[in-house]
Chains A and B, each alone.
Chain A
Amino acid sequence: MNFLPIATNIADYLRDSLGLTNGIAMVLAAIIHGSLLVAIFMGTPVFWIWGERKIAGRIQDRMGPTRVGGRFGWLQSIADGIKLIQKEDLVPPAADSMLFRMAPYMVCVASFATFMVLPFGDTWVAVASDIGLYVLVAILSLEVIGIILAGYSSGSKWSLFGGMREAAQMVSYEIPLAICAIIPVTVAGSLNLVEIAQLQSGGFQNWLIFNDPFTLVAFFVYFTVATASCKRAPFDLAEAESELVGGFHTEYSGMRWSFFFMGEYAAMFVVCAVASILFLGGWNSGIPPLDATLNQMRGLSADGSFEPMAYLANAIGMGILISKAWVLVFVQVWVRWTLPRLRIDQVMITCLKYLIPISCALFLGVIAWPLLVYKMTGGAQTSFASPKAENWVKPAVSTPDEDAETSQFILPNSTPDDRMAVADDDRKVAGGTR
């Protein structure tokens, strides 16, 4: 796990200008990053709880919140929060008190931890990992444990049914979620979210959703599955109010109850941000001149130094990414208040009989597509490391003398001749697999 330039920048700044020791500077930098992420993590639910109530109201021909904070009721979430903090923290006598108290934190922490590897800009990521998407999916799957434990430990039959539904649903929906997330990874040739987003720069025709027909369908399948994995309507069987009172959170009240919803809204934001990074170009605007300008501005700090213009470009990129994610969150809210809730057997059939076969077929199709294009057009060969390597724009690392086809793995003490030998081997293997 490595920290990207922005991380080392803060640590370097603290060390050099304030005269701190290395360890303290790193810890302080980590705290600063954590606080920034907490701000996004807390801000998203506060905005979207108000937004959801307002949108739901308009869809149902009501006004929604209007009183608190002026005409649009935009302080409603704050008022809700104050009310929830004041409520009594109840633990039912039948509950397993330790697990009952622990479960909301597990939900909250699991969805917060995904922000750790979620990039908001070219270098704006807390932990830049080569397997960012894999780590993100892994951590996101932990959220379900908190919900199951909440359902089990409440000592109530409603909660138990909610927890069991959630477990069955999540175990099934994780399979198409992972397969759909693999599809853009196959096209991009990388699990690194920063790389996937960056190779979609230079216009919306480079977005992976428009890469081939299979990725186009895969985006909609991914979005459906992601909605289900956040247990949003029409898949919110774990908390079906009409059948299970409140489902897994029947026995909860006050802050512990609100932790579940903070986790849920944060998870909605995360899956939508991942959808926009994987399919919709991430922090690239899709307008070629604007993208070129922003990339140029980012390139100013290629050596890791601080440049106001590069910072501005990253801030704009973050705004673009968050806007895309919020549009998708809006669609989730819209769907919730438009479609009726499915039955539990319909939810399972949707996943096991339709979504898994569809995503498997899309996965096979997206693998076959480059071969088909190659056969039909006799077109250019793609590189072994990344099928779309020609799209790579590398503002952060500039090495003009490095041949793009050179192998990635070179012994530290190898001579240039060795490097060429490795490159030859690389091409041999690449030819063999094609």
Chain B
Amino acid sequence: MTYEKLLFLIFALSTCGGALGVVLAQRVARMAFWLIVSLGSTAGLYFMLHADFVAATQIIIYVGGTLVLLIFGIMLTASGPHVNIQTSPGELVLGAGVGLMLLFLIQGTVRSVDWNQAAVVTSQGEFVPAEGQGYNPQGQGNTIRPLGMALLGLRPDKDLGAPEEAGLSSGYLFPFEIVSIHLLVVLVGASYLARAKRRAQASE
């Protein structure tokens, strides 16, 4: 067993352990803590799989953003010092059933892929940065430049083999901007609705 596999195993175990902790913990703040462990270890798994951008995004969005808001929400809405969640046996059975169904679904999907074939296809489509660009040694784990190029529509992995008249493949910048504007509208709308409610209450 190489040290990479050992590290992967440690991160995988702490991901699962954190997830179990979320389910088994009684206090909401402790659940948030175990969620930090689980999501942070998932970021570690992404780093191990040479997906550095996805890993950093996982940390900045889920751990640094969503969880901070979650704990902030717990603190703002807490009536007592420590909020407990009591799950009834019915809810436990229902949750376990849904979880098992999801597990079977994922397991079926994973098993339906021929991973040996997929590995061959991936290694054929792989492209490496040219020498002399930047400081990093060639190889895996630096995904930001291909991602940025793909966002602008430059897909060397796809376009090289294509005929000249086919043109470049379309980038992801336009859909990305649409999603951004959509989120901004949602944000403005939410704050408007919240303020309108307060104004109506004040005038009554």
Contact = CB atoms under 8 A, between A and B. Distances in A.
Interface of A: 1-2, 4-5, 23, 26-27, 94, 96, 98-99, 102, 122-123, 128-131, 134-135, 137-139, 141-142, 144-145, 148-149, 151-153, 155, 160, 163-164, 167-168, 170-171, 174, 190-192, 194-195, 198, 385, 394, 396-399, 402, 404, 406-412, 414, 418-419, 421-422, 425-426, 428-429, 433
Nearest to A194: B135
A344 to B, nearest CB: 15
Given A2-B141, A155-B81, A135 B56 contact: yes
A122 B134 CA distance: 12
Contacts, number: 182
A399 B135 contact: no
Contacts of B33: 98-99, 102, 149
Contact of B27 (A1, A96, A141, A190): A96
Interface residues of B, number: 59
A190 B136 CA distance: 12
B22 interface: no
Interface of B: 2-3, 27, 29-30, 32-33, 36, 40, 47, 50, 52-53, 56-57, 59-60, 63-65, 67-69, 71-72, 74-76, 81-82, 126-137, 139-146, 149, 152-154, 156-157, 159-160, 168
A414 B68 contact: no
B136 A128 contact: yes
Given A4-B135, A145-B63, A192-B136, A160 B142 contact: no
Given A145-B67, A152-B75, A164-B75, 18 more contacts: A2-B139, A4-B135, A5-B137, A99-B29, A129-B52, A141-B59, A160-B75, A167-B68, A190-B134, A194-B135, A396-B135, A407-B130, A408-B149, A409-B157, A410-B156, A411-B160, A425-B159, A433-B152
B64 A409 contact: no
Nearest to B64: A141
Contact of A421 (B32, B74, B126, B160): B160
B144 A130 contact: yes
A164 B76 contact: yes
Pairs of residues from A and B, 10 with the lowest C-beta to C-beta distance, nearest first: A141-B64, A399-B132, A138-B60, A130-B142, A409-B156, A138-B59, A402-B132, A167-B72, A23-B3, A1-B141
B137 A164 contact: no
20 contacts: A1-B52, A99-B33, A134-B53, A134-B60, A138-B56, A141-B60, A141-B64, A149-B29, A149-B32, A164-B72, A167-B75, A174-B64, A402-B131, A409-B127, A409-B145, A410-B127, A410-B128, A410-B156, A418-B160, A429-B168
A162 to B, nearest CB: 11
B59 A4 contact: no
B142 A2 contact: yes
B146 to A, nearest CB: 6
A429 B159 CA distance: 13
Contacts of B68: 141, 144-145, 148, 167, 170-171
A155 to B, nearest CB: 5
B72 A429 contact: no
A280 B65 CA distance: 29
A382 B75 CA distance: 51
Contacts of B137: 2, 4-5
B130 A148 contact: no
Nearest to A160: B75
B127 A152 contact: no
Contacts of A94: 81
A160 B78 CA distance: 11
Contacts of B139: 2
A128 B149 contact: no
Contacts of A168: 72
